[in-house]
């Protein structure tokens, strides 16, 4: 046990034996797949037509937003160019399916059906259609374990989408899945309903993916920090399909940023919150209009930042662009992420 914690050589052993354990997971997953198959096969035509219409409508909305996004993205990149700001992590995504859930009540982990043979690596961010879900903590040949952001040992660097206030969202320690913002001073401007997005500090998660929504803010005069709870947007216990983000390494540039950008006041940068800069990996992410819709592989799709989150954001407070300029981005490395080394 202690050897497993301290040294790496047992990982290889684990990896090898996992070839044996994969079939067991495969068999254990059969009931779920059968029920999904039944759902697929025994479905009425009317339901299908209804669903089709609904999907068409959603697609229409999404495409409209995409058009807006193209303009915003180019404007945004020009502004960032002026500002010499560091780049956001965008990246592509591969889909995966959750095939099992950890049976340990104290841990919130899920098993997905992609592993080392599919190019999964440790620390990879996992999303679902609604928001950030977790990160890969253990890679096995054909499966990987994902630590969810609601695990009490997991901390996610987030920022409030409205004003860029930064915090660390830690998994709730109670039995109810949720997030708690740690060490937020009482004076911080965080209110119920605020959208928390990943801040990208810590280099583990891509920036600006929606993480959670603040559900309660309690200012207890007896405590040094505000007690803030948030509800993760990702549907941890309902979804089966997730996405693994493949970061574009080239996008993470290391531009040193002068300190005066830190305290830039409101109104200085009329940039929208979204910051989404879909980039392909060859150019530095500054001129982006043309290639953003190329889909490299039928299994690989471009991830857009929070398309569906945009309408319900407050239109005020568009000055969040100045807050992330202080991250002097280092080239990605395998250091301990922000996720695991919390007290």
**What residue ranges bind other proteins (CB under 8 A)?**
1, 3-5, 10, 13-14, 17-18, 20-21, 24-25, 27-28, 31-32, 100-107, 109, 111, 138, 145, 152-153, 173, 175, 237
Q: Which is nearer to other proteins, 173 or 219 (CB)?
A: 173
Query: Smallest gap, in angstroms, from Cβ of residue 154 to other proteins?
Result: 10
Q: Which is nearer to other proteins, 176 or 316 (CB)?
A: 176
Chain-centre distance for alpha carbon 340:
16
Query: Smallest gap, in angstroms, from Cβ of residue 126 to other proteins?
Result: 15
* Spatial contact of 108 and 171, defined as CB atoms under 8 Å apart: yes
Query: Smallest gap, in angstroms, from Cβ of residue 118 to other proteins?
Result: 17
Q: Which is nearer to other proteins, 36 or 60 (CB)?
A: 36
Q: What does the H/E/C string look like for the chain? A: CHHHHHCCHHHHHHHHHHHHHHHHHHHHCHHHHHHHHHHHHCCCHHHHHHHHHHHHHHHHHHHHHHHHHHHHHHHHHHHHHHHCCCCCCCCEEEEEEEEEECCCCCCCEEEECCCHHHCCCCCCEEECCCCEEEEEEEECCCCEEEEECCCCCCEEEEEECCCCCEEEEEECCCCCCCEEEEEEECCCCCCCCCEEEECCCCCCCCCCCEEEEEEEEECCCCCCEEEEEEEECCCCCCCCEEEEEECCHHHCCCCCCCHHHCCCCCCCCCCCCCCCCCCCCCCCCCCCCHHHHCCCECCEEECCCCHHHCCCCCCCCCCHHHHHHHCCCCCCCCCCCCCCCCC
Q: Which is nearer to other proteins, 175 or 297 (CB)?
A: 175
Spatial distance between the Cα atoms of 87 and 54, rounded to a whole number of angstroms: 36
Q: Which is nearer to other proteins, 22 or 74 (CB)?
A: 22
Query: Smallest gap, in angstroms, from Cβ of residue 100 to other proteins?
Result: 6
* Spatial contact of 144 and 115, defined as CB atoms under 8 Å apart: yes
Query: Smallest gap, in angstroms, from Cβ of residue 294 to other proteins?
Result: 36
Q: Which is nearer to other proteins, 138 or 280 (CB)?
A: 138
Query: Smallest gap, in angstroms, from Cβ of residue 30 to other proteins?
Result: 10
Query: Smallest gap, in angstroms, from Cβ of residue 83 to other proteins?
Result: 41
Query: Smallest gap, in angstroms, from Cβ of residue 111 to other proteins?
Result: 7
Q: Which is nearer to other proteins, 144 or 203 (CB)?
A: 144
* Spatial contact of 55 and 126, defined as CB atoms under 8 Å apart: no
Q: Which is nearer to other proteins, 239 or 318 (CB)?
A: 239
Q: Which is nearer to other proteins, 95 or 102 (CB)?
A: 102
* Spatial contact of 99 and 29, defined as CB atoms under 8 Å apart: yes
Cβ atoms < 10 Å from Cβ of 340: 15
Query: Smallest gap, in angstroms, from Cβ of residue 42 to other proteins?
Result: 22
């Amino acid at each position: 046990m202690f050897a497993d914690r301290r040294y790496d050589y047992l990982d290889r052993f684990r990896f090898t034996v996992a070839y044996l354990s994969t079939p067991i997971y495969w068999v254990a997953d059969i009931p779920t797949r059968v029920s999904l198959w039944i759902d697929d096969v025994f479905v009425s035509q009317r339901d299908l037509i209804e669903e089709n219409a609904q999907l068409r409508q959603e697609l229409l909305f999404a495409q409209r937003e995409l058009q807006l996004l193209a303009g915003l993205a180019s404007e945004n990149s020009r502004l960032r160019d002026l500002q010499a700001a560091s780049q956001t992590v965008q990246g592509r995504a591969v889909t995966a399916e959750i095939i099992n859930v950890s049976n340990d009540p104290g841990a919130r982990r899920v098993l997905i059906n992609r592993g080392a043979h599919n190019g999964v690596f440790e620390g990879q961010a996992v999303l679902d259609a609604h928001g950030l879900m977790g990160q890969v903590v253990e890679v096995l040949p054909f499966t990987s374990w994902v630590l969810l952001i609601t695990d009490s040992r997991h901390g996610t660097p987030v920022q409030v989408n409205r004003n860029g206030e930064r915090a660390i969202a830690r998994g709730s320690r109670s039995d109810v899945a949720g997030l708690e913002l740690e060490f937020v001073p009482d004076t911080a401007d965080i209110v119920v309903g605020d959208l928390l997005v990943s801040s990208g500090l810590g280099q583990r998660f891509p920036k600006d993916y929606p993480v959670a929504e603040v559900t309660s803010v309690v200012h207890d005069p007896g405590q040094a920090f505000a007690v803030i709870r948030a509800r993760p947007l990702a549907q941890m216990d309902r979804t089966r399909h997730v996405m693994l983000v493949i970061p574009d390494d080239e996008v993470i540039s290391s531009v040193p940023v002068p300190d005066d950008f830190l305290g830039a006041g409101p109104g200085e940068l009329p940039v929208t919150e979204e910051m989404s800069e879909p980039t392909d990996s060859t150019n530095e992410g500054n001129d982006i209009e043309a290639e953003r819709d190329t889909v490299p592989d039928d299994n690989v799709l471009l991830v857009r930042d929070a398309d569906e989150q945009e309408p319900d954001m407050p239109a005020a407070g568009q000055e969040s662009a100045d807050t992330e300029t202080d991250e002097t981005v280092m080239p990605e490395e395998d250091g301990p992420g922000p996720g695991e080394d919390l007290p």
